[in-house]
Copies of this chain bind each other. A is one copy, B any other.
């Protein structure tokens, strides 16, 4: 395997010059740069990552701690991971994948062995044991999800409060008589993921401010059976126009299906507002009005935060909490008050 010394010999320069060509940390004449680059290409040189890490004290690796294990919501995770992987690659970084069931010791390992320059923690719970450890590290850490006490660590997430506000405000403004929130799956509630509370609280507060009766049904399992039960519990047979807010991508289609089977017509006698990705909303049958919940946006924000931390070395610290603002898109499940019910 060729080394930078080989490149240097071929280009007729010193090895340190090769290094400066790569890093750009000292001015290099056009002529020499060209010779070095040609030499690198000719022998197919690639810098040894281990040597780089040792000499340069940086690994060009981001550690990603993902919540696997039986308890994890395994479905929506991959877009996060993918976007982060792709995002860091644009900075010529790589991703080291660590599973959360290794526990907080995974964090000290990543730091102690110098396996990465920064760490991203996913699926942060309201009271997460990893946070205290994370806060004590010297490597920068970014949290995806907002815990009760971030301990000064930067967090990124979707703005769930704003999502709930958007959804309920829209329903209140378009003549609905009540709002029913179909909640998150029991698994998420039990794990005490913070966004569940932020979403629910905001939904209730907004409905209350608008003078709109509201109700939270939940937890709801994202299965045909769970959706059926939730629809039953929603009490849609009362007179008046109900707005149903469905929280979570996985629950949207089952709830739609259950509604139709129960004889309802989303978009006519009931409004369904999904809190889910635009892709899922558009692909649903029928296409569902939604407030966007985009994991990719969150991941991109996380990557940006990581490199802000990495570049600035504490200088321009990123905001403590950065939230992605959701967006409401009308599709076919919005019913207008006054239109004839089925």
Neighbouring B residues of A257 by C-beta, 8 Å? 224, 257
Q: Could you tell me the distance in whole angstroms from the C-beta of A300 to the nearest C-beta in chain B?
A: 14
Which residues of chain A from 61 to 92 have any CB-CB distance to chain B below 8 Å in the complex?
61, 64, 68-69, 74-75, 77-79, 81-82, 85-86, 89
**11 extra A-B contacts, CB within 8 A, seeds A46-B113, A47-B113, A50-B53:** A1-B112, A49-B50, A49-B59, A50-B50, A68-B86, A85-B99, A86-B99, A89-B102, A96-B97, A223-B283, A224-B253
Complex Cα gap A283–B82 (Å):
28
Tell whether A98 is near chain B: CB-to-CB under 8 Å.
yes
Residue in A113, A225, A261 with the greatest tally of chain B CB atoms within 10 Å: A113
Complex Cα gap A51–B49 (Å):
10
Q: Could you tell me the distance in whole angstroms from the C-beta of A117 to the nearest C-beta in chain B?
A: 11
Complex Cα gap A61–B96 (Å):
9
Q: Write the chain B residue with the least CB distance to A49.
A: B113
Tell whether A114 is near chain B: CB-to-CB under 8 Å.
yes
Tell whether A126 is near chain B: CB-to-CB under 8 Å.
no
Tell whether A101 is near chain B: CB-to-CB under 8 Å.
yes
Q: Which of B44, B50, B52, B99 contacts A112, CB < 8 Å?
A: B44
Beyond A51-B50, A224-B253, A257-B224, whether A99 also contacts B115 by CB under 8 A is: no
Which residues of chain A from 94 to 152 have any CB-CB distance to chain B below 8 Å in the complex?
94-99, 101-102, 108-109, 112-115
Beyond A74-B79, A75-B75, A253-B224, whether A48 also contacts B114 by CB under 8 A is: yes
Complex Cα gap A78–B99 (Å):
12
Neighbouring B residues of A53 by C-beta, 8 Å? 49-50, 53
* Contact count band on A: 35 or more
Tell me if A50 and B46 are in contact (CB < 8 A): no
Residues of A within 8 A of B (CB): 1, 44, 46-54, 59, 61, 64, 68-69, 74-75, 77-79, 81-82, 85-86, 89, 94-99, 101-102, 108-109, 112-115, 223-225, 253, 257, 261, 283, 285
Q: How many protomers of this protein does the assembly include? A: 2
Neighbouring B residues of A112 by C-beta, 8 Å? 1, 44, 46
Tell me if B98 and A94 are in contact (CB < 8 A): yes
Neighbouring B residues of A50 by C-beta, 8 Å? 49-54, 59, 114
Q: Could you tell me the distance in whole angstroms from the C-beta of A80 to the nearest C-beta in chain B?
A: 11
Complex Cα gap A51–B50 (Å):
6
Neighbouring B residues of A52 by C-beta, 8 Å? 50
Tell me if B54 and A82 are in contact (CB < 8 A): no
Beyond A78-B77, A97-B96, A102-B89, whether A114 also contacts B49 by CB under 8 A is: yes
The 9 closest A-B pairs by CB, nearest first: A50-B53, A46-B112, A68-B82, A50-B54, A49-B113, A95-B97, A97-B97, A74-B78, A50-B50
Complex Cα gap A78–B123 (Å):
15
